[in-house]
Amino acid sequence: MVPLVLCGGSGSRLWPLSRSTYPKQFLALTGADSLLQQTLARIPANASQPIVVTNADHRFMVAEQCRTIGVKPTHIVLEPVARNTAPAIAVGAMLALQSNPDAVLLVLASDHGIQRPDVFHTCIEQALPAAQAGKLVTFGIVPDSPHTGYGYIQRGEATTGGLYAIQRFIEKPDTARAQSMLDEGGHYWNSGMFLFRAEAFLAELKRLQPAMFEKVEAAVAGAERDLDFTRLDKAAFEACPSDSIDYAVMEHTQLGVVVAADIGWSDIGSWSALADILPKDANSNALIGDVVVQDSHDCLVHASNRLVAAVGVQDLVIVETADAVLVAHKDKAQSVKKIVESLQSSGRSECDTHRKVYRPWGSYEGIDAGGRFQVKRIEVKPGAALSLQMHYHRAEHWIVVRGTAKVTCGDNVSLLTENQSTYIPLGTTHRLENPGKLMLELIEVQSGAYLGEDDIVRFEDTYGRR
């Protein structure tokens, strides 16, 4: 069994915590580990190392979060463009077949929550014989409420092993229709998780979507290995039709079956969905961070950087980050995406980036900025190094706060320790490294006519960034 983890979502409904450069799968929303790490941790022990499909912008975060928990993916696949789930799963299936002609794919989303992983493992074992026999198995979540944010699967006749044929897929319903399906029974939430032989899925994809199959095949054939990553052929994948596995295959195949999974599942697709699965206080408030509430009920309050106090409120979502605060009624939590779209149309950076930005070597955080200056706090991991680079439009001052910095400035290489500083003139080739065993922290003051992150000319880069 080969786990295939899809890690390309943007999680815009969980703004301002989730942003396009650091989406929800990388966030620790329901515990100490991120949603991606939790997904990897609940892979059955008898499975092989996973294949992870993501995009180039998130590749180092995927690699670092895997490394932190001791997971070594056989492939971290980089999609040059997003093409929805059907092409992504096809890529994973083709790569799995390269090393095992009998590979069974366990397709998982990287950003879901499962509260009963042991029951999920039982469901996988229940579904495995059907998958090995050539069926395309999906996991249908036993519903506990008339949820309108999920698609549904209506089951048909019972098959062997306690599974059911799929009668039809149902789009997200209104409340009355959802309640009717709940009362009728035989309907499941569509989890987007699957189990099937790679060969069986590809055969159906080729039959039903030949153009998609052809382009994915070309993208995999032209893939290149880049450090720990597998880069798909850009031209071929861009030419691939974009579609979900449901629309492309599952709604048309005669091989689909569903296994009922009562596993405490959530897609964590909104703040209200997250609130449903978090621990509550005596007044049903989910409180995270430095939060004080008084006479408040059924709220989710999430504080990241400072004290947040709420008095006399009910059914609210309040989320604070370093550069944005969200206040929304729980009933409108699905509409947060519209705020993100408004920010995008206005060119606001808050829709994409946090004040703290992660890089493969560490992170930087904006502290202050003006017309011709910018101040950042920089952290460099032990043994890590920034690229050898140059700026056309800015000079930089570096002050070491903690640790040891190895600084290349033109032809000069020096070591700086706590409370020492240096100056990098405009147009000078330079590099910052951490030769020590502790985190390097420094303050960077930039000055110049243009301070954008795209004013970087890289000459050498340990991480192969292009």
d(CA 279, CA 271): 14
One-letter-per-residue 3-state SS of 271-311? HHHHHHHCCCCCCCCEEECCEEEECCECCEEEECCCCEEEE
Give DSSP secondary structure letters for 224-236. Answer: EEETTEEEPPHHH
* Domain boundaries along the sequence of the chain: 2-266, 283-341, 356-460
pLDDT of 348 reads 92
d(CA 421, CA 146): 61
pLDDT of 463 reads 81
8 A C-beta contact, residue 400 and residue 419: yes
d(CA 259, CA 123): 7
8 A C-beta contact, residue 187 and residue 173: no
8 A C-beta contact, residue 421 and residue 415: no
Which residue(s) pair with 385 in the sheet?
433
d(CA 238, CA 244): 16
Radius of gyration from C-alpha coordinates of the chain: 24
Q: Which residues contact 262 (CB under 8 A, 6 or more apart)?
A: 116, 119, 141, 142
Residue 209's alpha-carbon distances to 105, 247, 248, 437, in angstroms, are: 19, 10, 7, 52
pLDDT of 465 reads 67
8 A C-beta contact, residue 369 and residue 399: no
Over residues 371-423, the pLDDT tens digits come to: 899 999 999 999 999 999 999 999 999 999 999 999 999 999 999 999 999 99
- List the CATH code of the domain at 2-266: 3.90.550.10
Task: Name the DSSP letter for residue 385.
Answer: B
> Tens place of pLDDT for every residue, the chain, 466 residues?
999 999 988 888 999 999 999 999 999 999 899 999 999 999 999 999 999 999 988 999 999 999 999 999 999 999 999 999 999 999 999 999 999 999 999 999 999 999 999 999 999 999 999 999 999 999 999 999 998 889 999 999 999 899 999 999 999 999 999 999 999 999 999 999 999 999 999 999 999 999 999 999 999 999 999 888 999 999 999 999 999 999 999 999 999 999 999 999 999 999 999 999 999 999 999 999 999 999 999 999 999 999 999 999 999 999 999 999 999 999 998 899 999 999 999 999 899 888 888 888 999 999 999 989 999 999 999 999 999 999 999 999 999 999 999 999 999 999 999 999 999 999 999 999 999 999 999 999 999 999 988 899 999 988 876 5
User: Of all residues in the chain, what percent are helix, strand and coil, respectively (each to 5)?
Assistant: 30, 35, 40
pLDDT of 129 reads 97
26: nearest Cα among 68, 79, 75: 68
8 A C-beta contact, residue 109 and residue 6: yes
CATH 2.30.290.10 fits 356-460, yes or no: no
For residue 80, cis peptide bond before it (omega within 30 degrees of 0): no
The residue type found at 313 is V
Over residues 304-357, the pLDDT tens digits come to: 999 999 999 999 999 999 999 999 999 998 899 999 999 999 999 899 888 888
pLDDT of 223 reads 96
The residue type found at 48 is S
d(CA 318, CA 330): 10
8 A C-beta contact, residue 107 and residue 7: no
Q: For 201, phi and psi rounded to 5 degrees?
A: -65, -45
d(CA 302, CA 318): 6
Host H or E run for residue 61: helix 59-68
d(CA 441, CA 379): 5
pLDDT of 466 reads 58
pLDDT of 334 reads 85
Q: Which residues contact 438 (CB under 8 A, 6 or more apart)?
A: 382, 402, 403
